[in-house]
Structure 1
Amino acid sequence: MSFAHPELGPWPALGYVGNPLDRAAHLRPEGVGLARAPQARAYLLGGELVALKGDADAADPLFAPAEAEAWTREAPVFLGLAGGTPRAAFPFDPARREEMEAAGLLVADLRSIAVRGLVGPEHLGPIACGKALLGWHRRHGFCANCGAATTIIEAGWRRDCPSCGAQHFPRTDPVVIMLTAHGDACLLGRQPQFAPGMYSCLAGFVEPGESLEEAVRRETLEEAGIATGKVAYHACQPWPFPMSLMIGCLAEATSQDITIDPAEIEAARWFGRGEVAQMLARTHPDGLFAPPPVSIAHHLMRAFLEGARA
């Protein structure tokens, strides 16, 4: 049964999905040269930060390679092709933010860029890819097998150890995020770092030897003391904070009494469909609200509101 709420408007776009680039894996052996080619265009990324040309009303995230290299001495990573044109990501030192802003660049964190819509949605996927890839390089400069310094290979898509010969590849961490329902109510919780008033879906990392359904049931029980039965996949979202894949699921609760684990979350409660609609529209009388539309949590809450169940 559908419970559409026209006052919420069209279904919002999910952030960081729909990467339009051809990843062109066969070109990675020559990718660094392609990334520095005059016709290439590059994103300039510094940890959580993204540099943009222009201002908030007309921001451009693409730089010519020479423009990008003015802010870094590190090698770029090759992201793929956009209509045959190479796309890359160049790293910069976040400590140079003030210097870059003084030079007329707009520097903002990726979350703000996505939430405020500072760049077109076609850029969010490539930027997320570049951010995750560069972040992996910052944390994996040494071989996990023998401890020797590793070398960047395949234009950033592999690191090789010259000492023991081990090959290391970028990782993606699977995370389940679930909207658990019991009748016409759904379970939402808060973590201490959330903005005041925001409630979201429960979530947690998938553990070794665990299916997605098992992870949903375990995390819901651990965090809120709620047992669940049926679990259904809904959608997924790359989440570059730092390099996760959020696997959105719907779950059916088989118990109702909440007992939170304060080491995991600070609050959890059941919300009726009317309250969920108010939270999505940011009209809740207590000032409670949902995560922003770019997040999969927002989409899971919207799906519940419109009748989706496990």
Structure 2
Amino acid sequence: MARFAPPGFTGSPLVRIDNERDNQAYHDEQLARADAKLLRLTGLAPDVLDGGLLGWGPASEVAPDATLALLGLIDGAPHFVPIDPVQENGAQRSAAMSAALGQLKGDEAATYAVARCLIDWHSRHQFCPRCGKHTRPMRSGWARLCDKAAEGCGSEHFPRTDPVVIMLAEFEGKILVGRQKPWPQRNYSALAGFVEVGESIEEAVARELFEEAGVKATNVRYIASQPWPFPSQLMIACIAEVESADLNLDTREIEAAIWVDKDGVEAALRRDESGPFMPPPPFAIANTLLNAWVAGA
């Protein structure tokens, strides 16, 4: 397979130490270490330092009543993040957030993605979906418990990841990109949709392409995957050969779609104004997918 740059939000140096998450003594020992770090955030937004680095402070900065998750170890030092509820929509990405993501180094963005997903999940799972009782963090911030001691049902809940297929339809040397109405003019990207229950990746790719663009997939090949922390998807990038270039767009989902050849995609990735569209940002796996297709993946 042709080589291409790894997707955004991958490559974190975190050692996740899952085997110690149930060990409260270990958690407390790590928090008390002189080299323990605390991620500096404003709501869900990270502090970004020169050089594209995340801002970390000493763990002693933590508020007395704060709840922390132990993200893991980086270069042997424990790294924590506050997981108290935030009044912010984790699915939204402001212009300031996009700018911050554009500044972060790839491995730093990957570590931030882990922290953001955890914070947002805890904010949205304060109550048990089985019995409605309040839940509390457990496993060093990597789960929540509906505690029987507090008249709960005893259920344990773990951070979820929602699988999403994102794909390029391919026909006779061209690929299909589409745009949604709220996007800036000339911005196009790969088509995408959630994997439904009881559905394989290949079936989801074929269904979404037919539903959104009216094209029928004949062969689906996997390219790469990416965690997407807005709020907590796993993007599964594929390329699908299709029967024809005839389109039947679902205009509730897709405002417009165009077929683009390799030269056009290369111009778009250069952000050339003469190109047929403007591509998604480099940290999005749709950008990786376009680069992979150009490279012959």
| TMscore range, shorter length | 0.7 to 0.9
Equivalent residues, number:
285
TM-score calculated relative to the size of structure 1: 0.84
Secondary structure at 2:99 match in 1? helix
Find 1:88's aligned residue among 67, 80, 94: 80
Amino acid aligned to 2:268: M
Structure 2 alignment gaps of length 5 or more: 89-94
Aligned pair 1:156/2:152, yes or no?
Answer: no
Does structure 1 residue 65 correspond to structure 2 residue 52?
Answer: no
Partner residue, 2:115:
130
Gaps spanning 5+ residues in structure 1: where? Answer: 3-9, 97-107
Residues in 1 aligned to 2:19 and 2:275: alpha-carbon distance in whole angstroms: 54
Superposed, 1:212-291 pairs within 5 Å as 212-285=201-274, 288-291=277-280
> How far apart, CA to CA, are the structure 1 residues paired with 2:59 and 2:133?
31
What's the CA shift for 1:48?
3.8
1:306, distance to aligned residue in structure 2 (A): 2.4
Q: Take 1:140 and 1:248, find their aligned partners in 2: how far apart are those partners? A: 28
**For residues 23-56 of structure 1, what are the alpha-carbon distances to aligned partners after superposition, in whole Å with 9 as ceiling and x for unaligned?**
001222336522454321121334541124x5x5
**Which amino acid in 2 is paired with 1:122?**
D
Q: Are the aligned partners of 2:84 and 2:122 in contact in 1 as well (CA < 8 Å)?
A: no
Once the two structures are superposed, what CA deviation does each residue of 1:113-149 show, in whole Å capped at 9, x if it has no partner? Answer: 222x2x3322211110010011000000000000000
Give 1:246 deviation, angstroms. Answer: 0.5
Paired residue for 2:17?
Answer: 24
- What TM-score, normalized by structure 2, do the two folds share? 0.87
Which residue of the partner structure matches residue 74 of structure 1?
A: 66
Please state how far the C-alpha of 1:283 moved relative to its aligned partner.
1.0
For 1:183 and 1:93, how far apart are their aligned partners in 2?
Answer: 50
SS of the aligned residue for 2:57 comes to coil
- Cα deviation for residue 222 of structure 1 reads 0.6
CA distance in 1, matches of 2:220, 2:46: 37
Query: In structure 2, do the counterparts of structure 1 residues 238 and 278 end up closer, same or farther at CA, with 3 Å as the change threshold?
Result: same
* Other-structure match for 1:99: none
Q: 1:199 to 1:212 in 2, by over 3 A?
A: same
Q: Shift of residue 93 of structure 1? A: 7.9
Shift of 1:60: 4.6
Secondary structure, aligned partner of 1:130:
helix
Find the residue that maps to 1:209 and give its secondary structure: coil
Distance 2:87 2:47 in 1: 13
- Which residue of the partner structure matches residue 304 of structure 1? 293
Give distance in 2, aligned partners of 1:93 and 1:158: 15
Question: What displacement does 1:273 show?
Answer: 1.4
Q: How much does 1:75 deviate?
A: 0.7
Partner SS for 1:138: helix
Q: For residues 36 and 135 of structure 1, what CA distance do their matches in structure 2 show?
A: 26
How far the C-alpha of 1:203 sits from its partner, in A, is: 0.5
Match of 1:184 among 173, 176, 188: 173
Distance 1:294 1:252, change over 3 A: same
8 Å contact kept, 2:7–2:224: no
- Equivalent position to 1:193, from 182, 187, 200: 182
Q: Which runs of 4+ in 1 moved over 4 A?
A: 10-13, 56-60, 91-96
> AA paired with 2:35?
Q
Alpha-carbon distance, 1:180 to partner: 1.2
Q: Is the 8 A contact 1:44 1:91 kept in 2?
A: no
Aligned position for 2:91: none
Equivalent residue, structure 2, for 1:49: 45
Q: CA deviation at 1:109?
A: 5.0
1:17–1:214 CA distance, 2 compared to 1 (3 A)? same
**Greater mean alpha carbon deviation, residues 171-180 or residues 251-260:** 251-260
SS in 2 for 1:223: helix
Q: Which amino acid aligns with 2:98?
A: R
Amino acid of the residue matched to residue 120 of structure 2?
G
The answer (yes or no) to whether the contact 1:231–1:250 under 8 Å persists in 2 is yes
Distance in 1 separating the partners of 2:200 and 2:283: 26
